[in-house]
Amino acid sequence: MNRFFDIPSDLQHSWAGLIGLHLREALLPVLGGLVLALPLAQLCVRLRWLYPPVLWVTTVLYAIPSLAFFVVLIDYTGQTEVTVMIPLTVYTLVVLVPAIVDGVRSVPPETLAAATAMGFGPVRRYAQVQLPIAVPAIIAGLRVATVSSISLVSVGTLIGNQGALGNLLHDATIYNRPELAWNAVLTMAVLAILADALLVGVRVLLTPWMPSGTAGRGQGRGRKEAAAR
C-alpha cells in the first residue's frame, strides 16, 4: 500500500501530473464535441429531415472501436495526445447532438411564438431564448459525455503511453503491481464524480429559473399568494 502512489518512471509523470494529463485528454474532446454539436444540432432543428441521418452517422461513428481510429490516424497525427482526443471528440457527438436537439425542441411553442411576435429575429431568438432554455438538457448531455470520456482516455495506452492514468493499468501487468491498477481505477472514478458534481453546480448557477431545490420553496410561496388573491 505504501507503493500506491509510487509511479513507475517509464510514465515520466508524477501521480498529480498524470491527473492533469488525464483531465486534459478527457475534457478537451468534450469541449470540442460541444463546439461541433451546437451548429450540427441547430441544423437538425431547422431541417427536420436531417436529424435521423445525423443520429445514424453519430451512432455508427460511436460503434467504431478507438483502436481502428488509431490505426488510421497514427499516419497523420502520430503517437500523440491528439490521436487519442480525435476519436473521443467524435464519440461525444452521439450524446451531445440529441441532447441539444431535444433541449432546443423542448422550448414551449407559445414561448417561441411570443418571441417571434415581439420582433426577435432568428439569430437573436436562438441565442437569447432557445439556447438558455436548452441549458438543462445540454448539461445533462455534457455530464454523460464527460464521464464516459474520462473512462475512455485509458485506451490511449495502446499507442505508447498516451492513456494518462490508463497507463497505470498497463504498468500494473508488466511490473506485477496490482496496486497501480487500483490507483488508476479509483482515481478515474473520483475524477468522474468530481467532474459530474461540477457540471451539476454549473447547471444550478445557470438556471435559477428552474423549479427545483431551494427554488421549490419559492414556488410554494407563489402558490399560496395566488390562492390568497
Partner 1 sequence: MIRIDSVTKRYPDGTVAVDRLSLEIPDRAITVLVGPSGCGKTTTLRMINRMVEPSEGTISIDGRDTRQQPVNTLRRSMGYVIQNAGLFQHRTIVDNIATVPRLLGWSKDRARTRARELMERVGLDASLARRYPYQLSGGQQQRVGVARALASDPPVLLMYEPFSAVDPVVRKGLQDELLRIQDELGKTIVFVTHDIDEAVKLGTMVAVLRTGGRLAQFAPPAELLTSPADAFVEDFLGADRGIRRLSFFSSAGLELLTAPIVAVDASAEQIVARATEDVPYLLVTGLDGRPLGWSEPGALTAGQVDTGRLLPCGRPFVAGRDSLRAALDCAVLSPTGWAVAVDREGRAAGVVSQAAIGEAIRGAHATDTTGTTGSAGAPDPAAVQKAAR
Query: What is the rounded distance in angstroms from the CA atom of residue 102 to the CA atom of residue 99?
Result: 5
Q: How far is the CB of 98 from partner 1 (least distance, A)?
A: 21
Query: What is the rounded distance in angstroms from the CA atom of residue 101 to the CA atom of residue 33?
Result: 14
* Phi, psi (deg, nearest 5) at residue 163: -95, 10
Contact positions with partner 1 (CB under 8 A) in 171-210: 207-210
Residue of 10, 17, 56, 221 that binds partner 1 (CB under 8 A): 221
Q: How far is the CB of 220 from partner 1 (least distance, A)?
A: 9
Which residue's C-alpha cell is 500506491?
A: 4
**For the chain, how many helices (H) and strands (E)?**
10, 0
Task: Count residues near partner 1 (CB under 8 A).
Answer: 31
Q: How far is the CB of 102 from partner 1 (least distance, A)?
A: 16
In this structure, what DSSP letter does residue 21 have? Answer: H
Q: How far is the CB of 118 from partner 1 (least distance, A)?
A: 5
Query: What is the rounded distance in angstroms from the CA atom of residue 65 to the CA atom of residue 54?
Result: 19
Q: Is 189 helix (H, G, I), strand (E, B) or coil?
A: helix
Contact positions with partner 1 (CB under 8 A) in 150-169: none
Give 48 or 108: the residue with its C-beta nearer to partner 1: 108
**Interface stretch with partner 1, choices 15-23, 104-112, 167-175, 177-185 (CB under 8 A):** 104-112
Distances (CA, A) of 81 to 127, 129, 155, 168: 33, 37, 11, 16
Nearest-10 Cα torsion for 217, 223, 228, 229:
130
Contact positions with partner 1 (CB under 8 A) in 105-134: 108, 110-111, 113-121, 129, 132-133
**Interface stretch with partner 1, choices 85-93, 153-161, 192-200, 211-219 (CB under 8 A):** 211-219
Give 68 or 113: the residue with its C-beta nearer to partner 1: 113
Q: Which cell numbers in the block locate residue 49?
A: 429531415
Is position 213 an interface residue for partner 1 (rule: CB under 8 A)? no
Query: What is the rounded distance in angstroms from the CA atom of residue 66 to the CA atom of residue 162?
Result: 13
Q: How far is the CB of 54 from partner 1 (least distance, A)?
A: 27
CB 120 within 8 A of CB 128: yes
Q: How far is the CB of 116 from partner 1 (least distance, A)?
A: 6
Where does this chain bind partner 1 (CB under 8 A)? 108, 110-111, 113-121, 129, 132-133, 135, 207-211, 215, 218-219, 221-223, 225-227, 229
